[in-house]
Structure 1
């Protein structure tokens, strides 16, 4: 039967238990297989899932439109309380249902057994197990292909269903009978104590009958996936005070890795709003050079060298490090790339989707890819420096490529750019951009000296020292008693918390301590840190935003390095209370503690790891 969107079931009528159409962003866990990921709500609903890779069009996107986005609901068919947790030391998610007559759980995972680079391998398994008593369950599988824009057909045969759209076909197999509901499927079943049911969703290839997923196979894949995650996590060298949160962050960063290329996405979602009802909604399903480079630092700190090696493979395999000829207006590097290394990420809007809680527009792609952001060079070269020091020595080919980038930077560091926050109000002389250019040159000089590598060191040193002098003379405001956002201005910016972290200035230097106090007074609220004041520094967008969680963890680390350990520890512990029930963070925290922005976000979790590591070391 041909798909008819008008015949689709009313997904809103099957929404969250309290009757709302959208769960809070924080009421989700993430599962994945190093190729793509899915958000699973505490109500048992998968309401975000792109297949077969992170940046593919969505199949389930109810988090962006409860009516037209599509979802995979699986929940007890009686009133329940729910609790959600990760199977210990894994990315296998458990959602438990507590009812008057029984207790059951849904185990959600994507099988992962090794570090295969095969791009097409993919499966999603949902296993329901009754632990006590008896419970009735319902399932409703309503895919909406192509971000809800493609019609699909349904072919149903007992426990097998095939959903076919022009761009993708998915096969659903089940150990319980399925029934058609227009072009979607439903199931109702009851489980007694000890019984289970299995649903498996696979990419369907033309002419290939869907493979079954019997209970024994689901159990075997569950056990293999648990072994994979635990074996990976066992490499961690962190045994400090905040082991559980640090390891959850590490597991999250690994989950955001695209195994076929080694790229790391900034977040697995698009257009979750930085302000509900606002326009600050962006697509983060790409490899930001800055975010991925900082991830490299966090992973190396914990002892995960293979991830660093994989990212180096992404840089070389995709040609990111090779200076283009001719070099474009944004320099030899873009600020972001596709997970396969592609450079073209055109941004467009999806007007048929209403957005999370009506937060439009919903965007796909990212126009910021054409921006000039000079800070990315510091983040990248610092990560390569650390890899060369803690991982493996970089190759002569990588050094040649890196040297060409540094040579370009010597000629172009002293120019305005869009800055680390990707403002859309035109280019400015941001101090943070200068800071990270200094980092790029300083780390390249260190590498050349340590390994005796060929370099135009006199030129590199002249540029490094010129940047230092410019920041100290024009990036410092005597009136504010602080380093400021832009050259010769008086606006504060939390990105400057990186100054002592990047070893540009001593963490106890009087100028820095004065800056730290100024930031604490103006941009910090209950340990939460705002990036800047949009009223004082217009960024080309309407409305305000929440506090930026990476800045909050930078603040913790800056306090610790300044010797203010009691303040640092209290701020860190407060920040942890803003995590969701699974220890996950979005990009921002709202005024009442709600998670805002794309979720979960790599930037936040890598900063958590760094803050925990350095605070632990300072506390002794």
Structure 2
């Protein structure tokens, strides 16, 4: 059992098929060997009593620093003793067709080192059961994993093994699903192959504006959670990290949320990008609709386009006692109008940028589905249990139809889409305003919501429109603290959870568009204060206790920060960053 790390101390290793989560002390506390959303075999992050882990202890030393090698997902840890003598080691996952797993690489160490690996399947509640193959290799029989090491391995119990190294020695350890011949030559080749692959990926993006280091770190984070095969972008690497410590709002985010992926794609579209990586989003939508023979999309999918229809509660204590701990997600059964509409908005941005209608048949089907069903209530952007006429979904539907209409070659179809958008606008102006003239959270509500900031960014309304001004006044008075903002929930008091970081970024971008650059900068600085030393955000921020909340890292937040920072940079240069309907 190892100490549960703070969420802000976490970091990611990735091979773009799955990932592992490490802490600032060199421990690996989460790992699903097969793929991002498979069964975890290292899970002490949410199962501290029984879950698996891989710890490294450097004697007489404490963690000093950590960093990613430039342009890669190769993480370097530095420990130092009382005299300042440093021990450095690297964690990485090979990006290779032939080798997969986690490699821990130890150059010459300055102090004795001990590493302990515990394998426990939290889903099936079973031990890994190690057995010796030879003195430097063990097989975990129940899970089909192998640990291959440069030094002798010792079995401690039915879950746990360890190995140690002495001062002046160097070595490595490889946790993999296949027993392979492994030595320093193979290690060197894999390292070079992995480093080259990551630099090719991160080299596709360029950004020279404000908050450059933070934006580049956010781009890396998104790529770490992007499936290299399907192009699906996960919402987060983890499950059941709480939005309220000790509370029940704990969900599995290891899936591709259509809304999030659309907004992430939109963020990347605003950058200088080579290789048309944004088009992979439309490819993912096309394949998901094709695989499930659907005329429209579900709110979320697995990385290989499957619909999620299960939810299983695990026998685990949870992160700092936060239960339930669960895998699966039943939000896939919901109707989320805003998610469907965001596909149209992202498609418009991609089509404008590259001058080609990628996967038009699928995009056209989504547009027609929005036309046919926008009047029905849905579960909203925050996936509430209550089906209501959420304003955000209506607004996005109108914008999406207006934006995509210019791309159809069918005059009658374009007219229909624009006519429906006009009807949606009439519905909003008639039903979705509060008594003081602000945009309501849903038809008939007197509450406002943070998502309204996007109405300006997507060209539904100008920043100085009276409805928008009334909404912003309410947001500032009722939903803002220390330049961070809270969302509005129907079924839960959102003031009990943390500041909503993605929405705070939307507000920063709104103020940039409105010309208040100082306010925009203050908000982004406040958001940045909840970005950890390696550039990761979680979903929410506990302002009072200075803690990260929610699943980690949250790609939705990383992309929102990219959009806001880029938006502020360009608006200061006099460039309009609103995505115009035209």
- TM-score normalised to the size of structure 1? 0.88
Partner of residue 461 from structure 1, selected from 403, 407, 418: 418
Deviations 1:158-190 (A, max 9, x none): 11111121xx31111111111110122111221
1:298 aligns with 2:259: no
Q: How much does 1:453 deviate?
A: 5.2
Partner of residue 374 from structure 2, selected from 398, 410, 413: 413
- 3-state DSSP of counterpart to 1:580: coil
1:584 aligns with 2:536: yes
Q: What residue is the counterpart of 2:579 in the other structure?
A: none
Q: What residue is the counterpart of 2:127 in the other structure?
A: 151
Q: How much does 1:312 deviate?
A: 2.4
1:435 aligns with 2:435: no
1:595 aligns with 2:534: no
306 and 160 in structure 1: CA distance in 2 versus 1, 3 angstrom threshold: farther
Q: How much does 1:510 deviate?
A: 3.2
Aligned counterparts of 1:356 and 1:319: Cα–Cα separation in 2: 35
1:174 aligns with 2:134: no
Partner of residue 106 from structure 2, selected from 128, 142, 162: 128
Q: What residue is the counterpart of 1:472 in the other structure?
A: 429
Deviations 1:343-371 (A, max 9, x none): 13311111x20100010100110011101
Deviates more, 1:484-493 or 1:33-42: 484-493
Partner of residue 315 from structure 1, selected from 269, 273, 285: 285
1:280 aligns with 2:243: no
Partner of residue 389 from structure 1, selected from 346, 352, 355: 352
CA RMSD of aligned residues (A): 2.0
Q: How much does 1:220 deviate?
A: 3.0
Contact 2:95-2:197 within 8 A present in 1 as well = yes
Equivalent residue runs for 1:417-566 within 5 Å: 417-424=378-385, 426-448=386-408, 452=409, 456-477=413-434, 479-532=435-488, 534=489, 537-539=490-492, 544-566=496-518
Q: What residue is the counterpart of 1:6 in the other structure?
A: none
Deviates more, 1:294-303 or 1:362-371: 294-303
Partner of residue 93 from structure 2, selected from 100, 110, 132: 110
Contact 1:42-1:82 within 8 A present in 2 as well = no
Aligned counterparts of 1:334 and 1:81: Cα–Cα separation in 2: 44
Deviates more, 1:336-345 or 1:298-307: 298-307
Q: How much does 1:218 deviate?
A: 2.2
Q: What residue is the counterpart of 1:336 in the other structure?
A: 300
Equivalent residue runs for 1:45-60 within 5 Å: 45-60=27-42
Q: What residue is the counterpart of 1:186 in the other structure?
A: 162
Q: How much does 1:574 deviate?
A: 2.1
Contact 2:269-2:350 within 8 A present in 1 as well = yes
1:363 aligns with 2:337: no
Aligned counterparts of 1:321 and 1:469: Cα–Cα separation in 2: 36
Q: What residue is the counterpart of 1:571 in the other structure?
A: 523
Equivalent residue runs for 1:28-107 within 5 Å: 28-100=10-82, 102-107=85-90
Q: What residue is the counterpart of 1:4 in the other structure?
A: none
Aligned counterparts of 2:290 and 2:486: Cα–Cα separation in 1: 32
Contact 1:55-1:286 within 8 A present in 2 as well = yes
Q: What residue is the counterpart of 1:18 in the other structure?
A: none
Q: How much does 1:538 deviate?
A: 2.8
- 3-state DSSP of counterpart to 1:257: coil
Aligned counterparts of 1:315 and 1:474: Cα–Cα separation in 2: 32
489 and 254 in structure 1: CA distance in 2 versus 1, 3 angstrom threshold: same
Aligned counterparts of 1:404 and 1:521: Cα–Cα separation in 2: 41
- 3-state DSSP of counterpart to 2:22: strand
Aligned residues, how many?
568
- TM-score normalised to the size of structure 2? 0.93
Q: How much does 1:498 deviate?
A: 0.8
Aligned counterparts of 2:564 and 2:410: Cα–Cα separation in 1: 33
Deviations 1:548-596 (A, max 9, x none): 1100100100111111111111211221111111111001111322111
Q: How much does 1:457 deviate?
A: 2.1
Q: What residue is the counterpart of 2:171 in the other structure?
A: 197
567 and 354 in structure 1: CA distance in 2 versus 1, 3 angstrom threshold: same
Contact 1:30-1:39 within 8 A present in 2 as well = yes
Deviations 1:476-530 (A, max 9, x none): 22x3342120112210111111110111001232332232222122111112110
**Which aligned segments of 4 or more residues in structure 1 are displaced greater than 6 angstroms?**
none
Aligned counterparts of 1:249 and 1:345: Cα–Cα separation in 2: 30
Q: How much does 1:67 deviate?
A: 1.8
What are the ranges of 5 or more consecutive residues in structure 1 without an aligned counterpart? 1-10, 16-20, 205-209
Aligned counterparts of 1:455 and 1:58: Cα–Cα separation in 2: 52
Q: What residue is the counterpart of 1:380 in the other structure?
A: 343
Q: What residue is the counterpart of 2:230 in the other structure?
A: 261
Aligned counterparts of 1:286 and 1:490: Cα–Cα separation in 2: 33
Deviations 1:177-226 (A, max 9, x none): 1111012211122132xx4210111113xxxxx21432333233223322
